[in-house]
Amino acid sequence: MIPDNLLPAAIVLTSLVPGLLIFVLGERRHVLRTVLNMTGALAKLALVGLLIQGVYEGRDFESRLTLAPGLDLVLNADALSVLFVTLSTVLWLVTTVYAIGYLEHSPHRSRFFGFFSLCVSATVGLALAGNLLTFVIFYEALTLATYPLVAHRGTPDAAQGARVYLGYTLGGGVLLLTGAIWLQSLAGPVVFTQGGMLSALAGEYDTQLVLIFFLLIAGLGVKAALVPLHGWLPQAMVAPAPVSALLHAVAVVKAGAFGIVRVVYDVYGVVLAESLGLLAALAVLASITIVYGSVRALSQDGLKKRLAYSTVSQVSYIALGASIFGPVATIGGVVHLVHQGIMKITLFFCAGNYAETLGVHRVSEMDGVGRRMPWTTLALTVGTLGMIGVPPVAGFVSKWYLGLGAVEAGSDWVLLILVTSSLLNAAYFFPILFRAWFKEAPARWPKERIAAGRLETAAALLWPPVITALLALAAGLFAAAPASPLEWAELIAQREYGL
C-alpha cells in the first residue's frame, strides 16, 4: 500500500499535515478540527500497525532526504524506535480526545491543536531518527513546538514558565549540537547501530569520547530532567493539563530519556560505554535524580507539582536501566520507557479532571474526592500504585527487572536506591489516596464547573484516564504475553547485547 521507503516519513506526516491545516482553520471550525485531529491520530495508528508488522517480518524501512553533501535526514525503524513510536501514537490518540474535552471552551484552540500536532510529529520523528543529525533536528523541533504550548495560557506565570523552559532546553540543545558535531568530525556520520558504532575510535580518542559523552548526556539530560538540569520542569506545570500529560509521559521528558538510551546503546555501544567508565557516572547521576525527585515531591502541596517531581524521579529509572551493564537491567530501563509513560499520563489526566471538574488543584483540597469522582480516583489509584511498584501494575515489572539486573551486574547498591525510592513514592502518594478515599468531603468544592450527572465529569475527560489505567494494569498483568512492552524490551536487549 505504502512503499517501504515512505512509511516512516508518512508516520511523521500524519500528524504534521493535520497540524499545519489546523493552523489555518478558523477558531470556530470545531467539527472540522476534531475530524482532522482524529483522522491524523487514527491514520498514524494504522501506519504504526503496518510498521510493527513489517519490523516483525524483518523488513527494512528507511526514508532518506539529503540536506547537504554528507548530511542526510534519515528515518528508519528498529525495535527501539518501534517501541517509542507505538507509545507516542497510542498516547497521542488518547490525549487528543482528552484535550478536545479539556479545551472545549478556551480561546486559541487552533493554535493549541496545531502545535500539539507538531509536538507529536517531532516526537515521532526523533523516535524514528536513524542518525544523530536527524535526532538533533527533531529534538530541537520538539523544543520549538512545545514552547507555545507551555506559554499557551498567556498569563505572566505561563510567560515565566515558558521562558525558563526555553532557557534550559535551548541551552541543552546547544550542548547536544556541540557534542553531535564534534562526534561527527571524529567518526563521520553517526548512524544509530545496534551494539554501537564507535568501537573503532576507542583507545586513540578516549578522552574526547568521554567529553563528548558528557556533552551529549548534558544536552539530553535537560529534557530528561536529570538533576541538576531539572529546574524547568516544575515551572512548566503552568501548561494546560493535556500538555503536562504529553510533556511528562511521551514528548519532552521521554525524548531526553530515549536519547540517553540511544546514545548509550546505539552510538557508543554498551560495551564501550562500560569500558570508558561512562556507565558508572551515569548510574550515579540517575540515582541522585531518583532520590532527589522523590524527596522534593514529598513537600509539594500542588498536585501537578508533586507529579512533576515524581516525573523527575521516575524518568531516571530509564537512565538507570541504561547505565547498569547487563541485559536484564536494560530490559527494566527500556520497558520503563513505556510503563512510566502510561502511568504518568493517567496521573496527569486525573489531576486535570479534578482541576477542571471541581477546581481542586492541591493535595490538601482532595479530601473525599474519591466519592465524588470514583472512576477518576480509581484510575489515579492504579497509576500511583504502579509508580510505587505494587504488583500487578506495570511499574512493578520495571522495578523488578531493574533490581534483578543490578544484582546480576554486582551493583547491589542500586537495590538500596530502588527501595528508598519506592518508600518515598509510597510516602508521597499514599496520603493522596488516603485523603481521596477515606476523608470526609467538604461541603463545597473550590470551583465546581461540571455537575455530576450520569458520569462524574465530561465523557471526553473521563474515558482517557480510565483507558490508560487499564493499559497500565494490562502491561503488568500480561507482561509475559507476546508483543507486550516487556517482550519488545527483551527483543531490544537481546539485539543490543548481540545475544
Partner 1 sequence: MIDWLALTVALPLLGAVFAVVLPTRARGIGMAAALLTTAMALSVSVQVVQGITLRSDLGGWGAPLGIGLQADGLSAALLVMANLVALGISAYALDYFDAGSRRHFWPLWLLLWTALNGLFLAVDLFNIYVTLELLGISAAALGALTGRREAVAANLRYLLVGLLGSMTYLLGVALAYTGLGTLDLGLAAQALTPGPLAWTIFALMLGGLLLKTALFPLHFWLPPAHAQAPAPVSAALSALVVKAAFYLILRLWLDLFGPVAGPAAGTLLGMLGAGGVVWGSWRAFRAERLKLLAAYSTVAQVGYLFMFFPLMAAAAIPRRQELFGALVLLALTHGFAKAGLFLSAGLLQKTAGHDRIAELGPATQSLPAVAFAIGFAGVALIGLPPSGTFVAKWVLLSESFASGQWWWAPVVLAGTLLAAAYVFRLLANAFGPGLQPGAAGGGDQSQCLVPIGRAVQAPALLMTLIAVVLLGLGAEPLWTLLQEPPP
Q: Which residues bind partner 1 (CB under 8 A)?
A: 23, 65-71, 73, 107-108, 111, 133, 136-138, 140-141, 143-144, 147-148, 151-155, 158-159, 162-163, 166, 170-171, 174, 177-178, 181-182, 184-185
Q: Specify the residue, 26 or 482, whose C-beta has the smaller distance to partner 1.
A: 26
In the complex with partner 1, which residue's Cβ is closer, 136 or 312? 136
Q: Which is nearer to partner 1, 171 or 442 (CB)?
A: 171
Minimum distance, C-beta of residue 154 to partner 1, in the bound complex (Å): 4
- Whole-number minimum distance, CB 351 to partner 1, in Å? 23
Rounded to 5 degrees, what are φ and ψ at 212? -65, -40
In whole angstroms, the minimum distance from the beta carbon of 107 to partner 1 comes to 4
Alpha helices (H) in 359-484, listed in sequence order: 369-372, 374-388, 394-408, 413-438, 459-477
Cell numbers describing residue 469: 489505567
* Contact present, 130 and 17 (Cβ < 8 Å): no
CB 135 within 8 A of CB 126: yes
Query: Helix, strand, coil % (nearest 5) of the chain?
Result: 75, 5, 25
Cα 118 to Cα 35: distance, rounded to the nearest angstrom: 17
Separation CA 249–CA 263 (nearest Å): 20
Closer to partner 1 by CB, 241 or 285: give it: 241
Question: Distance (Å, rounded) from C-alpha 68 to C-alpha 86?
Answer: 31
CB of 146 to partner 1, least distance (A): 13
State the nearest-atom distance from the C-beta of 386 to partner 1, in Å: 35
- Smallest distance, partner 1 to C-beta of residue 225, A: 20
Minimum CB distance to partner 1, residue 195 (Å): 25
Give one DSSP letter per residue of 167-226, joined into a string.
HHHHHHHHHHHHHHHHHHHHHSS-B--TT-S-GGGTTTSHHHHHHHHHHHHHHHHHHHT-
- Please say which residue, 42 or 181, places its beta carbon nearer to partner 1: 181
Decide whether 113 or 429 has the Cβ nearer to partner 1: 113
Cα 10–Cα 12–Cα 13 angle in degrees, nearest 5: 60
Cβ–Cβ < 8 Å for 11, 48? yes
d(CA 332, CA 316) in angstroms, rounded, equals 12
For 16, 225, 289, 341, 422, the CA distances from 236, given in Å and listed in that order, are: 24, 12, 18, 18, 25
Q: How far, rounded to the nearest angstrom, does the alpha carbon of residue 457 sit from its chain's CA centroid?
A: 26
Identity of the residue, 147 or 309, whose beta carbon is nearer to partner 1 in the bound complex: 147
CB of 37: closest distance to partner 1 in angstroms?
A: 19
Q: Which is nearer to partner 1, 177 or 427 (CB)?
A: 177
Question: Residue 18 or residue 485: which is nearer to partner 1 going by CB?
Answer: 18
CB of 10 to partner 1, least distance (A): 16
Nearer to partner 1, 26 or 453 (CB): 26
Question: Angle at which helices 459-477 and 374-388 pack, to 10 degrees?
Answer: 30
Residue 23 or 478: the one with the smaller Cβ distance to partner 1 is 23
User: Closer CB to partner 1, residue 157 or residue 412?
Assistant: 157
Grid cell of 242 as nine digits: 493535556
CB of 256 to partner 1, least distance (A): 17
Residue 130 burial (CB count, 10 A): 24
Q: How far apart are CA 42 and CA 21, in angstroms?
A: 17
Minimum distance from CB of 84 to partner 1 (Å)?
Answer: 20
Grouping H, G, I as helix, E, B as strand and the rest as coil, residue 267 is helix
CB of 251 to partner 1, least distance (A): 17
Short-list 481, 397, 483, 394, CA closest to 79? 483
